[in-house]
Amino acid sequence: MKPIAIFRHAATEGPGYLAEFLDGRQIPWQLICIDAGDAVPHRAAGYAGLVFMGGPMSVNDDLPWIVPVLALIRDAVAQDVPLLGHCLGGQLISRALGGVVSRNPVKEIGWGEVTVADNDTARGWFGGIEKFQAFHWHGETFTLPQGATHLLSSAYCVNQAYALGKHLALQCHIEMTAEMIESWCAVGADEVLASRDSPAVQPAGEMQRQMEIKLPRLHEVATALYTRWIAGLRG
């Protein structure tokens, strides 16, 4: 089987629980570290699927890797290679396919409830799940590309996820592990402090206190979504 390519854009924002999920099913994957200077592949056909993780940058920034990544995403759609985006990754997919990425009304950082949309596509991805506590860390948001179906929303961000056929784009983070949350709280301490007046930003200590209760359920949701996504992998 061809490997899944997982694109990392920041050292602290690796595949997290997704790696555990894939390893447990003996699905091969390759980490492409954009943050370390790895080259962006020219074609998607060499991979079973493409996964784009998060990062502190904006897809609207003038960074040398963004244009080739957007081209790769469009090639993946043309070649029927499934895409999966987490936060920045979902924004990259949106922009590549004609959507717009802009500032969200407020920053959203920490645990927060998301609601599954009332449509058949959302039920296909989420089954009987109607709401769950996701993890958030973003200041921007995406619009849905043409033909996409809305899947998730929160009180502070309307577009939390969408699907376009076998492609899945998320604004929220379902890939979190305890180690990732602790790391992000340390690296992002100044951002949390500067945004403390936002109603959608939790103190770092509160994010970490809630991990024990909320991470197991988040992993259940992630397992359901990842299971549906890998069903579309190319051989």
Residue with tokens 């959203």: 108
Other C-beta atoms within 10 Å of 211: how many? 17
Pair 110, 136: CB distance under 8 Å? yes
Residue 216 to residues 5, 137, 205, 213: CA-CA distances in angstroms? 26, 19, 19, 7
* Torsion sign (Cα): 30, 231, 152, 20: negative
Active site members: 87, 173, 175
Q: Which two tokens stand for residue 23?
A: 């390893």
